[in-house]
Homo-oligomer: A and B are copies of this chain.
Amino acid sequence: MVVALNNNAQHQVVIIGGGFGGLYTAKHLAKANVKVTLIDKRNFHLFQPLLYQVATGTLSPADISSPLRAVFSKSKNTQVLLGEVNDIDPKAQQVIMGDKVVPYDTLIVATGANHSYFGKDNWKELAPGLKTVEDAIEMRRRIFSAFEAAEKETDPEKRRALLTFVIVGGGPTGVELAGAIAELAYKTLKEDFRNIDTSETKILLLQGGDRILPHISPDLSQVAAVSLQKLGVILQTNTRVTNIENNIVTFKQGDEVTAIASKTILWAAGVQGSAMGKVLAERTGVECDRSGRAIVEPDLTIKGYKNIFVVGDLGNFSYQDGKPLPGVAPVAKQQGEYVAKLIQKRLQGQTSRPFHYNHVGSLAMIGQNLAIVDLGFLKLTGFLAWVFWLIVHIYFLIEFDTKLLVVFQWAWNYITRNRRSRLITGKEDYVEAKTVNNITQIAN
């Protein structure tokens, strides 16, 4: 049975994906004379930049999530559909969801990107990434389970592997994870265990390039590196992971090959366009880059389809500086806003100028009192940068949902160094992390 969910004479805008790109497109169409259908697999928008704080026990998933229906409750021209899009039919102008079809006049594909394991997909289970709420809960489970298992482990070598954390990727997420785990091990958990000394924890951050945070200026990148090292993180640049198996990470720095036993390997590297990119390529012939991102036209449409737009991480927009815009929230948001305006102009018979990304600045959090802000004309480090980082993130968090509590939460955590959200949940075998099972069997 095929049921058309929209049968309306109004111009139908269908948006696939409720991340920053999709959300901002919909937001800026809320007062337009169009009908908007926002489709997402999840019933909430996730503020991904703070996901690492869920993974390290500071925030709860709901603190950084906004139920999509709540966001669009008052936008009567917008309907939210929970479900997965299987296919797109650009000829019939339809999006296919199982046995239902959703017709569109204009389609926005905003399904984002995932981590890339550079073809080693079996590493995914051994070194999980951080894209979804479930990823964060799994990471949290592994991190805290490692300390728990170490507390019970009597073999010094096994204990050492349990207290070794390896983070692959020195972009913002990798840096933030490394900093947060350092604070956990060297500060928050210090008094909590009886058999282990958590200050013996070893945290390695492996970066392929010659510096961490390559998107910010070299001097600030250097400040970040020194700050991380002061926190206790061991930083390895120009380092390529060559193998992950059986809780052993092998990496190469120049000609030197090192293998290290670690029970908790976390992945924060690579970009891989989401599956919808492939569908789009098959159906429209749009060219994708090596990372599976669709190459968009200057107005964010795809070649040959004036009514199909790609916004956010799934798109490769290379008309500024010649290299693709980074997969960060501000790009997605500006693209969403741009497309929303373009659609309205078109309906009024007007044309639009090509998309131009207005880079405001880069931020990265390293630890308490410790952040990096690069606004071009202004560079901040340390406490001031940390406050700035907080204000910016709070500002964006409360933009479409009143998350005042998150502010209190941070303030409170800051004062108390508390990690109240450090629950080990989600799996039947919650007692021992899966990665830990090879070494020790304490409590089956």
Listed in ascending order, the chain A residues whose CB lies under 8 Å from chain B are: 3, 5, 41-44, 60-63, 65-67, 69-70, 73-74, 79-84, 86, 97-100, 133-134, 137, 144, 148, 151-152, 154, 189, 191-195, 401-405, 408-409, 412, 416, 418-426, 430-431, 441-444
Main secondary structure of the interface of A (DSSP, over half): loop
A-B residue pairs in contact (CB < 8 Å), sample of 7: A41-B431, A43-B144, A67-B422, A73-B191, A97-B442, A405-B408, A405-B412
CA of A82 to CA of B141, assembled, Å: 13
Supposing A41-B430, A83-B152 touch, asked if A418 and B3 sit within 8 A by C-beta, the answer is no
Pick from B42, B66, B97: contact of A420, CB below 8 A.
Answer: B66
Q: Which of B3, B65, B409, B442 contacts A99 (CB 8 A)?
A: B442
Q: Give the docked Cα–Cα distance between A194 and B421 (Å).
A: 35
Contact B442 A98 (CB under 8 A): yes
* A69 partner, pick from B82, B99, B192, beta carbons under 8 A: B192
In the complex, the chain B residue whose C-beta lies closest to that of A428 is B134
Q: Provide the bound-state CA to CA distance between A397 and B82, in Å.
A: 35
The chain B residue with its CB closest to the CB of A70 is B192
Residue of B5, B67, B444 touching A419 (CB-CB under 8 A): B67
Which residue of the partner chain B has the closest CB to A85? Answer: B443
Q: Is A70 touching B425 in the complex (CB atoms < 8 A)? A: no
The one of B74, B84, B133 in contact with A423, judged by C-beta atoms closer than 8 angstroms, is: B133
Q: Are A82 and B43 in contact (CB under 8 A)?
A: no
Give me 5 other A-B pairs in contact (C-beta within 8 A), A82-B148, A99-B441, A401-B420 excluded. A5-B152, A65-B420, A82-B431, A100-B152, A137-B425
Closest beta carbon of chain B to A348's beta carbon, Å: 26
- In whole angstroms, how far apart are the Cα atoms of A14 and B155 in the complex? 24
Complex Cα spacing A61 to B99, Å: 36
A376 to chain B minimum Cβ distance, whole angstroms, is 35
**A218 → chain B closest CB, angstroms:** 39
Q: Which residues of B contact A3 (CB under 8 A)?
A: 154
Across the interface, which residues of B come within 8 angstroms of A81, CB to CB?
Answer: 151-152
Q: Separation in Å of the A431 CB from the closest CB of chain B?
A: 6
- Residues on B with beta carbons closer than 8 Å to the beta carbon of A67: 192, 419-420, 422-423
Residue numbers in B under 8 Å from A144 (CB-CB): 43
Using A66-B420, A423-B44 as known contacts, say yes or no to A79 and B405 having CB atoms under 8 A apart.
no
Q: Which residues of B contact A421 (CB under 8 A)?
A: 60, 62
How many angstroms between the C-alpha atoms of A422 and B442 in the bound complex? 36
